[in-house]
């Protein structure tokens, strides 16, 4: 059989009138509802995937605003309470000289979420209006977004650990602020956004552009 | 070449006769239709279009994955019930396990946070590992797959992005530094159980070859 070196020649399951399972890759005739091998629902292309991805993304972006404005952590030491926002916490850590940890928190809570918002918007736009960037590059970007998203949860876990553990009565107590909840939800929503995105559309849009 | 290209992609010229559907697979990433031939153990098969690794069967992967999953469940219990941080200030010491942290009387904003902690760190990882062991155990022992093995395996795969034990470790490290000014803190045995757990889970995931596993499951089910 001919092994085409020209990638545009490759036939997709959709073009062949078939549906591929996204979980186990089994091929079915078009119109099959559920995969006979693994039972996952089958869709040739998820028509609403982009819409759903954008809806989750929007929810995540909205919640990211209070996550940055309101305090993440309320620390009471000997009767004095101090409040810390996400960025405030990073600055605090830098004042204490822990630059490494400050970098980790900054990357996880600021760079990754904002990068994710931009990346998903870019990917969505590139489907509607095909870009010159190759689908390989866009697929890589999508994989990075998928992989890196969960690491934003670091700061939420830090707050949960500190508030559950540091309850030394009069000496020191730590309590979570409202930002901790909105940030956690923001991360969960953007993860759902990435999960709803159908990567096959990245490859389709490229084909449509070339045709 | 470091990997074998065993997938043969179909082009438009060859399309009229696709052959039996069982010989074809569709790349889950880019939907390219490929003629499947399972690579040898240790080999890799990639999609011609998007270069995603589709199959990478490993030697006796099922038995090894089962062992690792069971190990991980055992470690999980140590990680949850042993103390993971010791905090001391002004002569008072407080040792806490994840279990204590979750059970601590929590009200207000702490309640949803501890719930999230319990779900992402304890409940989902345990569910995922048990589902995987359930699906793998009968097959690794050389028999037919268990009833609902497909459902269990699908569940385990769906939970993968939500099991966040490794992120928790970094969280503990950050918490340690943050609290250092307030109190004296040290790491407990559960922290190291968590570290071991992450390594075991990572090993498990590298052994995992989804497509081969699904194929084996189907073949064994039929026979």
Instruction: Render pLDDT for B4-16 as a digit per residue (tens, 0 to 9).
Output: 334 455 554 444 4
Average pLDDT over residues B186-215: 89
Q: Looking at the complex, does the CB of residue B205 fall below 8 Å from at least one CB of chain A?
A: no
Q: A109 pLDDT band (50/70/90 cuts)?
A: very high
Percent of chain A residues topping a pLDDT of 70: 90
Query: What are the counts of helices (DSSP H) followed by strands (DSSP E) for chain B?
Result: 8, 8
pLDDT at A106: 94
pLDDT at B102: 80
The DSSP code for B108 is: T
Q: Looking at the complex, does the CB of residue A49 fall below 8 Å from at least one CB of chain B?
A: no
pLDDT at B85: 82
Average pLDDT over residues B8-34: 70
B96/A105 CB distance under 8 A = no
Q: Are B54 and B45 in contact (CB under 8 A)?
A: yes
Least confident residue range of A83-87, A139-143, B44-48:
B44-48
Out of B49, B161, B172, the one facing A203 most closely (by C-beta) is: B49
Query: What's this model's pTM, rounded to 2 decimal places?
Result: 0.86
Q: B104 pLDDT band (50/70/90 cuts)?
A: confident
SS3 state of residue A26:
strand
Euclidean distance between the first and the last CA atom of chain B, given in angstroms as a whole number: 36
Instruction: Render pLDDT for B37-82 as a digit per residue (tens, 0 to 9).
Output: 778 888 888 888 888 888 888 888 888 999 999 999 999 989 989 9
Q: B111 pLDDT band (50/70/90 cuts)?
A: confident
B171/A101 CB distance under 8 A = no
pLDDT at A7: 45
Inform me whether the pLDDT recorded for A130 exceeds 90: no
pLDDT at B193: 92
B31/A18 CB distance under 8 A = no
Q: Which residues of B92-119 are buried (b: 16+ CB within 10 A; e: fewer)?
A: eebbbbbbbbbeeebeebbebbbebbbb
Mean pLDDT of chain A: 85
Q: B126 pLDDT band (50/70/90 cuts)?
A: very high
pLDDT at A172: 75
pLDDT at B159: 92
Average pLDDT over residues B170-183: 81
pLDDT at B10: 55
Q: For residue B100, which residues of chain A lie inside 8 Å, CB to CB? A: 164
Average pLDDT over residues A86-94: 90
Chain A nearest-CA distance from B71, in A, is: 24
Instruction: Render pLDDT for A150-182 as a digit per residue (tens, 0 to 9).
Output: 999 999 999 988 888 777 666 778 888 999 999
pLDDT at A115: 95
Nearest CA in chain B to A137: B50
Q: A201 pLDDT band (50/70/90 cuts)?
A: confident
Chain A nearest-CA distance from B222, in A, is: 11
**SS3 letters for A99-140?**
HHHHHHHHHHHHHHHHHHHHHHHHHHHHHHCCCCCCHHHHHH
Q: For residue B32, which residues of chain A lie inside 8 Å, CB to CB? A: 10-13, 203
Helix or strand run (H / E) with residue B71: helix B61-81
The residue among B118, B79, B169 whose CA lies nearest residue A164 is B118
Q: Which of A74-88, A110-124, A127-141, B170-184 has the highest mean pLDDT?
A: A110-124
Mean pLDDT of chain B: 82
Q: B184 pLDDT band (50/70/90 cuts)?
A: confident
Instruction: Render pLDDT for B203-212 as a digit per residue (tens, 0 to 9).
Output: 998 888 888 8
Q: A2 pLDDT band (50/70/90 cuts)?
A: very low
Q: B90 pLDDT band (50/70/90 cuts)?
A: low
B31/A14 CB distance under 8 A = yes
Q: B17 pLDDT band (50/70/90 cuts)?
A: low
Chain A nearest-CA distance from B80, in A, is: 13
pLDDT at B1: 29
The residue among A116, A129, A118 whose CA lies nearest residue A209 is A129
Enumerate residues 169 to 198 of chain A having a beta carbon within 8 A of any beta carbon in chain B: 169, 171-172, 174-178, 180-181, 184, 191, 195
pLDDT at A6: 46
Out of B13, B110, B174, the one facing A101 most closely (by C-beta) is: B174
Please name the residue ranges forming H helices in chain A. Answer: 49-69, 86-95, 99-106, 112-128, 135-148, 154-165, 178-196, 200-210
């Amino acid at each position: 059989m001919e092994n085409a070196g020209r990638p545009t020649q490759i036939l997709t399951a959709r073009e062949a009138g078939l549906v591929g399972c996204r979980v186990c890759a089994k091929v079915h005739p078009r119109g099959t509802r559920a995969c006979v091998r693994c039972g996952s629902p089958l869709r040739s292309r998820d028509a609403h995937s982009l819409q759903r991805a954008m809806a989750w993304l929007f929810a995540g972006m909205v919640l990211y605003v209070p996550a940055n404005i309101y305090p993440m952590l309320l620390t009471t030491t000997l009767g004095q309470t101090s409040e810390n926002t996400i960025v405030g916490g990073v600055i605090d850590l830098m004042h204490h000289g822990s630059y490494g940890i400050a970098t980790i928190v900054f990357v996880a809570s600021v760079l990754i979420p904002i990068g994710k918002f931009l990346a998903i918007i870019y990917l969505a736009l590139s489907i509607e209006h095909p870009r010159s960037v190759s689908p390989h590059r866009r697929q890589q970007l999508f994989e990075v977004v998928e992989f890196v998203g969960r690491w934003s949860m670091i700061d939420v876990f830090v707050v949960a650990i500190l508030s559950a553990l540091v309850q030394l009565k009069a000496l020191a107590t730590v309590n979570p602020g409202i930002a901790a909840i909105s940030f956690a939800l923001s991360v969960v929503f953007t993860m759902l956004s990435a999960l709803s995105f159908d990567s096959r559309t990245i490859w389709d849009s490229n084909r449509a552009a070339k045709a | 070449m470091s990997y074998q290209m065993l997938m043969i992609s179909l082009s438009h010229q060859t399309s009229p006769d696709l052959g039996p559907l069982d010989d074809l697979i569709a790349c889950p990433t880019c939907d390219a239709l490929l003629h499947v031939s399972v690579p040898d153990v240790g080999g890799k098969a990639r999609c011609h279009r998007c270069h995603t690794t589709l199959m990478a069967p490993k030697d006796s992967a099922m038995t090894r994955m089962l062992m690792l999953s069971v190990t991980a469940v055992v470690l999980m219990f140590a990680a949850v019930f042993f103390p993971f941080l010791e905090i001391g200030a002004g002569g008072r010491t407080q040792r806490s396990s994840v279990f204590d942290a979750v059970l601590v009387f929590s009200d207000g904003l702490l309640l949803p946070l501890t719930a999230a902690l319990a779900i992402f760190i304890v409940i989902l990882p345990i569910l995922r590992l048990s589902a995987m062991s359930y699906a793998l155990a009968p097959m690794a022992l050389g028999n037919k797959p268990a009833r609902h093995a497909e459902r269990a395996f699908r569940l385990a795969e769906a939970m993968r992005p939500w099991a966040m034990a490794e992120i928790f470790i970094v969280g503990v490290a950050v918490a340690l530094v943050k609290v250092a000014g307030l109190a004296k803190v040290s790491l407990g045995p559960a922290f190291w159980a968590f570290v071991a757990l992450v390594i075991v889970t990572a090993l498990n995931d590298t052994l995992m070859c989804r497509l081969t596993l699904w194929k084996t499951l189907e073949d064994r089910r039929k026979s």
